[in-house]
Amino acid sequence: MSTQAPSPGLVASLRRLLAHVAVLLATRAELATLELQQLRARVLRWAVLIVLAAVLVLAALMTVSVWVAAVFWDGPRGWVLGLLALAYLGIAAALLLALQRSVQRSPPLLSLTRDELLKDLDALRGRASAANQPPANDVAS
């Protein structure tokens, strides 16, 4: 039995292929890193805004509550403070809903990286030409 050594052309082709795969993976890793950095900045910005808003809202609420209690000192002080508490709760709920919507609208984690990897997979499977063609108009007559 004789074993043939792989031809130099095959070895060189495999090396080039591995080099291209390494470059492709490095590029996708850079894209993932950029997306994670953007996410970190966005989360940090949200956290700072939440903390600042909470501190300012608490200061304003305390000030308004003391002022209303002073204005209605001889009147229906309890009812007024109860209505103020309900108003504060309503505003807080609206702010939390706005924050929830903002978080839900943010793009999924690493979505651009996933999209690029799917394009790469399609290209490797030979679907690149089909993906770049415009869709056919199917008009029912």
Q: What are the pLDDT digits (tens) for 74-100?
A: 888 778 778 878 888 888 888 888 888
| 12-16, 67-71, 72-76, 135-139: least confident range | 135-139
CA distance 96 to 29: 35
Q: How many residues does the chain have?
A: 141
Please say if the pLDDT value at position 139 is more than 60: no
